A and B are shown apart, each in its own frame.
Chain A
Amino acid sequence: MKLDETIALLKQGRHVPEETVYKLCQQSQELLMYEANVTRVDTPVTICGDIHGQLHDLLTLFEESGGIEKSRYIFLGDFVDRGFYSLESFLLLLCYKLRYPDRITMIRGNHETRQITKVYGFYDEIVRKYGNSNVWRYCCEVFDYLALGAIINESIFCVHGGLSPDVTTINQIRAIDRKQEVPHEGAMCDLLWSDPDDVETWSLSPRGAGFLFGKNEVDQFLHKNKFDLIARAHQLVMEGYKEMFGGGLVTVWSAPNYCYRCGNVAAVLTVDDQMDRNYTIFEAVPAQDDVGNAIIPTKKPQMDYFL
């Protein structure tokens, strides 16, 4: 398989043969298998939040932040669902991973599961593009091998969702058997799903499942593990990033104009060797180019005689 050719195809959003996807997924699994649940990453590094299948914006992200040839990246998950190019976005990252293994770390998001992708678009996209669901199955197998977190220079903890009451030290995350579908409960589930909020202590979401954690939990976790920052994604932020709890936690969001209609900007966070934080803000690509050709297949507002 010629990796560079596949990368070129993907960047143009063009069809990749099923066989190529199969091989790509196989090789990625072999590579990911040897990664720890929590991988160690050195500075300088750029932390990226949710992508959600917005391929053109992912390309902008690389352009604006130095590019994979020059910089190191951590992606905090949610590569797929909602956007029109989930497959291309995910495969492009896998290709980069195979091509430059030490420059890209991929963490699992709550959308990298069979159950969620069936409801939120990735499965439908595959069936539409291939006429069957094989490619979806190959990708889901890769999801099971993605890391759960990363640590930058022993001082920044990266995770998709947030903390878990079952996790007070990093060793407890290392002990998880991650190679499975994300369970509905337990530490692995919490890491991918929980949200920071203005709460005094761990509290249960009114939905009846899922935790909310506050400043106290963040401070304790940082103190116990001697960290300075928790970098997470998972929640839409109009400005692309949001620091909370006196700078102890940051939410990074990297899908501009989310769902092609929210009008938000996106951000990535670059941490340099001095551990200084620099945010790069970028906007969505326009839906049409200068001469009116569609770049993104947007739904035209169709007038209808609704009743």
Chain B
Amino acid sequence: MDNKNALGRGIDTIQITKAREIHMQTVRSRMPQAVPVPTTQTDSMGPGNTTTNVAPQVGGCHIHRHRANNPNNPPCAHCGAVIIPAPKARFPAEDEPSITIGDWTISTRKKTILNSVEMEQWEEKLRGLALPEMIFGNSFVRVENKAHGFVMEFNALEALKAVKLEDSGIRVSYAHKWISSKKRNREKSADLQDTSLEIGHHYDWTYTTSYKGHFEGPSLKRDDQERIPIDKLSRPDPILFYDDMILFEDELADNGIGVLNVKVRVMNERLLVLSRFFLRVDGVLFRVYDTRLFVEFDENKLIREYKEHEDTYQNVLANKALKHVRDPKAMLRDSNWVASQLPLRKRECEVLQL
């Protein structure tokens, strides 16, 4: 903080200095953390312990190539131009960090869960769906190419529209026991004769969604032969823009978890978005539905890959890897580990060449 002008300027300067400090405190929390090198890659592209958060690397930053679009953005560690947003900054109250590289603009917004008024409006919009407990309904991740009029966005409303309004066929592990005991009680007591044991209204209470993000502009073409180039994404290229957010989450009345999470990372030449729906119904099943959006900026090429993974709880729990772990339940909460264990049930791939 520059304090040398603080003296002699009276109260105004002090207030300004204080305001600057408050602003610094807010934005400091968004400064890039130490960036670990990829751990999933097998063949490292360079020395394994390369640190990417060192002072400006000459030539590594391409200052003329990317542009931060939000004046609140703090400088990035790579070149002093890009914001790395963080979710916990509560101030400014609304923030839409954004970055532009070539024709491509990536922006995100993170806000709190919906309030009761918004919830009521959403109930109207999503007729028949009992809403999940936490909806971060004003948050989104958006990838845009203005030159070609293409926008793809990931948000909670569209994701929930893809949840089926019919019987999911899935029941919690103790459902059978529960219902039979209720039936016995009903036979015993006349008071309970009129108690319904029918499901009030059907919807997919696991909130399983096949949402792949929604877009406007030129259509994607189906091509299942296409692959996302994992080798390029495994390079420890500096991450210029990163965000990670939950769109909705429900604890399934403490029977597990259903959560839709979106992450984005933007490098100098490409970006990757991962939208993951993770479901664990305790004692019953696991699902991981992943959508990956890949863009190679210079080629103006976009690939969207969708994968469904699913298996029973018992099969996952029987995994040998869990035998020697002190707390297997912790592994079952880790969607990355679970995803690596589940068999692939479905894969679709689409391409867009602008």
Contacts and interface: CB of A to CB of B under 8 A. Distances in A.
B192 A298 contact: no
20 contacts: A124-B327, A166-B189, A168-B191, A197-B130, A197-B200, A204-B198, A206-B199, A206-B202, A207-B172, A207-B175, A207-B205, A208-B179, A264-B113, A301-B88, A301-B244, A303-B242, A305-B233, A305-B234, A305-B236, A307-B233
Contact of B88 (A124, A208, A236, A287): A287
B103 to A, nearest CB: 24
Contact of B329 (A119, A197, A307): A119
Given A301-B86, A303-B239, A111 B254 contact: yes
Q: Tell me the interface secondary structure of chain B in the complex.
A: loop
Contacts of A287: 88
Contacts of A120: 254
Contact of B272 (A201, A205, A298, A306): A306
A238 B122 CA distance: 15
Interface string A274-307: 0000000000001110001000001011111111
Nearest to B267: A305
A118 B329 contact: yes
A264 B200 contact: no
Interface residues of B, number: 76
B168 interface: yes
A307 B196 contact: no
Given A193-B253, A206-B199, A264-B112, A303 B265 contact: yes
Interface residues of A, number: 53
A110 interface: yes
A209 B175 contact: yes
Contacts of A205: 199-200, 205, 253
Contact of B33 (A236, A258, A300): A300
Nearest to A165: B195
B158 to A, nearest CB: 21
Nearest to A239: B116
A186 interface: yes
Contacts of B130: 197, 206
Nearest to A264: B113
Interface in A177-203: 184-186, 193, 195, 197, 199, 201-203
A210 interface: yes
A208 B204 CA distance: 12
Contacts of A238: 112-116, 119
Interface in B163-220: 167-168, 170-172, 174-179, 181-182, 185, 189, 191-192, 194-205
